[in-house]
A and B are shown apart, each in its own frame.
Chain A
């Protein structure tokens, strides 16, 4: 481990990265499935209202959902075909959620886009394009990108950080994107710098992706110089390096205060995948309706990085990749540290799905947990300096409402504590319960 690499000051863990399963699989385009289910509530913010009705004919890229009130992002058809109905889909978190079911027209030609010049457009118009394309932060909670790129005027933003850390084990979407389309990511960053009216951009990439670092450096050197300063910063391989606040501190040494947002310290963070989506939205006016998803784990026949239509069901992905393998015991949407386990394969891919992991018994540890032995390892790995051990004991004793003094609300559920715990205690679960039961 190279100690001179940038990193955050406290806590963190080194889980096996498992990226070798998929990091050398070039992104392949998965053909559109027969049907797609597009959830009206894709991410953080308000759900969309459907703009189509049953039997409507729609084309790939058509606007099919819109947020009337509040924070949200537009929704677009990912295939050409017919609206089969507006009903409910299986949902990883809310069990059932409203969705639009589209039947794919197998004969429809894929939509083509041509590049448009953007350099002379005013910022406001660039923002409008991003908003129209329904871009959200595709690395995490799915915060609408046009909102994130419009910080309040009193915030003195001077730095854009592109998050290419991809610290979650297994996931390789960002890595493949940076290896295969670095120039698009860099141009996306250029667009965002223009919108923000700033010059400095740092791209944080964990040092276990030398191919991505190399490709991005090359793309920066070939990028037409328009006064922007784009730096590729290799960061230490340490989970949760890609967490927003940890990455900001690693690169800028600025600490985002509790309850604060990155722009409070003059920074805006966007995922490299979001930068590419911004590029597509501005250069091609192409909405966000397909995305790269890592399909990995030892429970799937053929791990891959797939470009899938949003709304593609997990079951279609599984059949495309040759089915599951014996021993499969958990399906996780997202990374293994912060993703969520699902109970069915009827669930569709959303704008924020970065990976689908098919994990076998050997990969997960499903041993029952024991009592806390007070080893204190969770204190050492918590990047926020909290006491997960105490919170867990309080919650078990039925005193969850007394845990705010241990800082439960600062916890962003990275899972380092539960990963490390030798007694296999479900500390994140305890903390979530504590958050529900205690008052801020």
Chain B
């Protein structure tokens, strides 16, 4: 008998595609980095520090949680890094540096690992982290906005009292003072569209550059890591519902401004598309996206907060199992008696 090595025996298929969870996650991380780099030039270097603290604490909390729960430690898969990045991206640039640590514990330990780890969490961990911080540190989380830097003085806000320079976000101004005040503060609509598209407006660390977020999102679609269904339905429905209901009379709202402000772009491409907490069937994706868009606009118009993307996604997350049940893939040649 010929000599041969011990053979692997397993069921078919015997070949697998080159894709892996790690590859997907690290690609998403790469797509998220350009907005972070730009945020240094918009809000100063402290955005880097806050993000680094957020990422490091999410990764550390993931490792500790998995040790505590006797599960294999999977920090290399990049999913905790994404949570850390996303959480940092949706907190204001002027918060104390230790704030993300508390958010990380809530996001990664409670919202992710206590519910079963990757694949089993009901809510988007990064959004839970932010919601927790909003509830526990409402002042820091709603007032630490900074006016954009326009002269490359990126160390401007380091160590300085944030309160002295705080500047309300466009959505806050719009909600409480109306569009005339908005124009007074941010210039004509034309200027606003360009500034907001590029990212020069007060807002959370990584949410302001619609342009770079769009680019990153389109790359993920090109790579087929996400599909167009959720981002498109979120953006279109935010635009539509704003146009329909956010103006003084029906159909007079400003959809473009609504899409370019707040966290719509970041939410649509990077948060509402989280595999675990969004549906996988195409029709369900569109329903989910429209739900996120509608709730966002509802919160913006009627809610207590000027921005609603975070809570809109969190409210849609628990509906995902139901959506998956309602919109099952169409079976090709169903056997009698088993169709459901």
Contact = CB atoms under 8 A, between A and B. Distances in A.
Contacts of B9: 330, 341-343
B16 A418 contact: yes
B48 interface: no
Interface residues of B, number: 44
Contact of A407 (B19, B23, B338): B338
Nearest to A343: B9
B24 A338 contact: no
B14 A364 contact: yes
A385 B331 CA distance: 4
A82 interface: no
B302 interface: no
A9 B336 CA distance: 22
Nearest to B119: A371
Contact of B23 (A339, A357, A387, A422): A422
Contacts of A346: 1
A426 B74 contact: no
Contacts of B119: 371-374
A410 B336 contact: no
B332 A384 contact: yes
A389 interface: yes
Interface in B8-27: 8-17, 19-21, 23-24
B185 interface: no
Contact of B332 (A10, A379, A389): A10
- Of B2, B275, B333, most A-chain CB atoms within 10 Å: B333
Contact of A338 (B12, B120, B334): B12
B21 A341 contact: no
Contacts of A69: none
A145 B275 CA distance: 47
Majority SS of interface residues in chain B?
Answer: loop
Interface string A317-350: 0110001100011111000111111111110000
Contacts of B19: 420, 422
B275 A373 contact: yes
B19 to A, nearest CB: 5
B5 interface: yes
A383 B332 contact: yes
A420 B17 contact: yes
B1 A365 contact: no
Nearest to A366: B8
Nearest to B225: A375
B280 interface: yes
Nearest to B22: A422
A15 B13 CA distance: 11
B281 interface: yes
Nearest to B328: A387
Contacts of B74: 370
Contacts of B13: 336-338, 415, 418-419, 428
A401 interface: no
B118 to A, nearest CB: 6
Contacts of A418: 12-13, 16
A432 interface: yes
A357 B9 CA distance: 13
Nearest to A92: B9
Given A315-B1, A329-B5, A371-B119, 12 more contacts: A330-B9, A337-B12, A339-B12, A341-B14, A343-B7, A370-B77, A371-B116, A376-B280, A404-B338, A419-B13, A419-B15, A423-B20
6 contacts: A15-B15, A260-B333, A337-B13, A341-B8, A387-B329, A407-B331
Interface of A: 10, 13, 15, 169, 245, 255-260, 315, 318-319, 323-324, 328-332, 336-346, 357, 359, 363-367, 370-376, 379, 382-387, 389-390, 404-405, 407, 409-410, 413, 415, 418-424, 426, 428-429, 432, 440
The 5 lowest CB-CB distance pairs between A and B, nearest first, are A376-B280, A415-B13, A365-B16, A258-B335, A371-B119
